[in-house]
Amino acid sequence: MLVVRPIAISDYEALHTCAVESGHGFTSLPVNEELLTNRIKHSEYSFTKPNVTSPSDEGYLMVGFDSETGEVAGTTGIEAAVGWDVPFYSYHISTIVHSSPKLNVNNVVKLLTFGNNYTGCSEICTLFLRPEFRQGLNGKLMSKCRFLMMAEHPHRFSKTIFAEMRGVSDENGNSPFWQWLQEHFFSIDFTMADYLTGIGKKGFIADLMPKLPIYINLLSKEAQAVIGQVHHKTRPALKLLEKEGFTCRNYVDIFDAGPSVECDIHNIDSVRNSVRVKVIVAEHSSSQDFLMCNSSFENFRATAAKAAFNREDGSAIISPKVAKALKVDNGDFIRILAQ
């Protein structure tokens, strides 16, 4: 059984393994001991931070682990509000018309405008599941456990939830979009820019990035072709978010032009359809699958398991094994989401 819990400093080696396996373009998991250690420590601080009534600088990082072996299968996270400590940059795609009635000419052109439009929004991020664990409901659990957390503790998160999707790059980490930027404005390759961003050294972006809007039709054909497109390994994650109600509002990443998708927290499908129920611990014969989490924040636990849900009295029967995984007992509350 895969169980999700807050990350601990003892998970460093496992997180490092995830960083190595995630490959190029996974900005939030750079292979850097100091950064990974700091992320773990900041997450530990965030989960234990008292009296949180609104989102600020908290970062919640979690791991999924095999309840039988203890092996870490992957990681998933949420940034409560981006842009407070370091700037969060993105490009916005807009459309303008160059028109000359005298010549009877109308040219529709698109622009990339540099900005900080997601400042203060909550970001779902750092979702990575190791290949040998990509089966059953594990992928859905690692992604949707974050929405169960938001449904149970909405005051900790912003109204707008967004995700940056990894853009197109080759097996060596080369991005067609960045290659154009590198040629005209930068003198470092994509992997270095990606790495510097991952370790928090973003000053070069503001220093070197063009401040005026960029006409997309002036970019190379290769760069134009990947704007708003996702890496082939990211397509399943994008489809899952689209089913949740996330959509692209014409914001793309400044390095690889991968799309950002967003949704109002109360319109996320898993937030709207999850139900808070009282626990009954007993063996049962139900065949219905649920994603579920406990009601604790500091000791958050989530898993995928079968349960017998009684809608009339608002209860759910879960097995002793599942109750142990969620750290709950008879009479406690959990949040469930039918699959």
For 135-186, give the DSSP string: STTHHHHHHHHHHHHHHH-GGGS-SEEEEEPP----TT---HHHHHHHHHT-
Q: Which residue has the higher pLDDT, 121 or 191?
A: 121
**What was the pLDDT predicted at 199?**
53
CATH topology of domain 274-338: Barwin-like endoglucanases (2.40.40)
Catalytically active residues, by annotation: 231
**What was the pLDDT predicted at 238?**
94
Per-residue model confidence as pLDDT tens digits over 122-158: 999 999 999 999 999 999 999 999 999 999 999 999 9
Question: Residue written as tokens 């690692």?
Answer: 142
pLDDT band at 295 (very low <50, low <70, confident <90, very high): very high
**CATH H superfamily, domain 2-90+115-270:** Gcn5-related N-acetyltransferase (GNAT) (3.40.630.30)
Domain boundaries, the chain: 2-90+115-270, 274-338
Give the C-alpha separation, 279 to 73, whole Å: 27
Name the range with the highest mean pLDDT among 32-36, 220-224, 251-255: 220-224
**What was the pLDDT predicted at 130?**
95
H and E: helices and strands count for the chain: 10, 16
pLDDT band at 207 (very low <50, low <70, confident <90, very high): low
Distance of CA 99 to CAs 103, 107, 111, Å? 9, 6, 16
Joined tokens for residue 152: 């149970």
Whole-prediction pTM: 0.90
pLDDT band at 34 (very low <50, low <70, confident <90, very high): confident
Distance of CA 252 to CAs 24, 91, 203, 227, 249, Å? 18, 5, 19, 7, 9
**What was the pLDDT predicted at 200?**
57
Residue 292 pLDDT > 90 = yes
Give the C-alpha separation, 122 to 55, whole Å: 8
Mean predicted lDDT score pLDDT of the chain: 91
**What was the pLDDT predicted at 87?**
82
Per-residue model confidence as pLDDT tens digits over 247-291: 999 999 988 899 999 999 999 999 999 999 999 999 999 999 999
Joined tokens for residue 298: 């500091």
> Running DSSP on this structure, what letter comes out for residue 51?
S
Residue 120 pLDDT > 70 = yes
For residue 65, which of 13, 137, 1, 21 has the smallest C-alpha distance? 1
**What was the pLDDT predicted at 155?**
97
